[in-house]
A = this chain, B = another copy of it.
Amino acid sequence: MPAPERRSERAHSAILDAVFDLCVERGYAKVTIEAIAARAAVGKPTIYRWWPSKGALALEALHVRIGHATDFPDTGDVAADLRAQMASVSRLFAGDIGIIYRGVIAEAQGDPDLVEAVRATIIGPRAKQCGDRLAIAVERGELRPDVPLRTMCDLLYASLYQRMLLGAGEAHLLRVPEVVDLILDGLRPRT
């Protein structure tokens, strides 16, 4: 018999895997807590002991799967670094991560607490990382100092969200490097 702590760790990660895989297989809206419990071979009370809702559980599964995939490089060229990082985000949005994230955002439209949780779990920490990278670029004179860092982040990522939620399949959509360059054009110091 494994120690209880070890068993609980395994159950925790089995649940996160189950919600992720089931959402990819069936679509977020069709996944129930019952199905997650069955797939993870745990009881429903175990799930509810750790997470208040399917949305909160899916958010943690998303967060864990995203891992370091959205970390920022620092090559000294903010445009190149943003193009690389946002291309990674765009690939995540177009793949399995996007399927679950769209489901969570959809559910959040009727649940303000879940909007808050999305911001706290997924958006906030990454906006902080982005802001840290942009702050270095401002110091180096690559970006104008008069626009709040969080504003710059919002402008950059808004089009990726728009594409994930409403744009799939549209032929006119910009490639990520072009979005980055166009937005940065407005954020560079006036010469």
Contact = CB atoms under 8 A, between A and B. Distances in A.
A149 B95 CA distance: 28
A183 to B, nearest CB: 6
Interface in A145-168: 147-148, 150-151, 154-155, 157-159, 161-162, 165-168
A75 to B, nearest CB: 22
Given A27-B110, A110-B29, A158-B161, A182 B105 contact: no
A147 to B, nearest CB: 6
Contact of A165 (B105, B173, B174, B178): B105
Contacts of A27: 110
A28 interface: yes
A105 B115 contact: no
Contacts of A187: 182, 185-186
A166 B28 contact: no
Given A28-B110, A102-B109, A110-B28, A166 B161 contact: yes
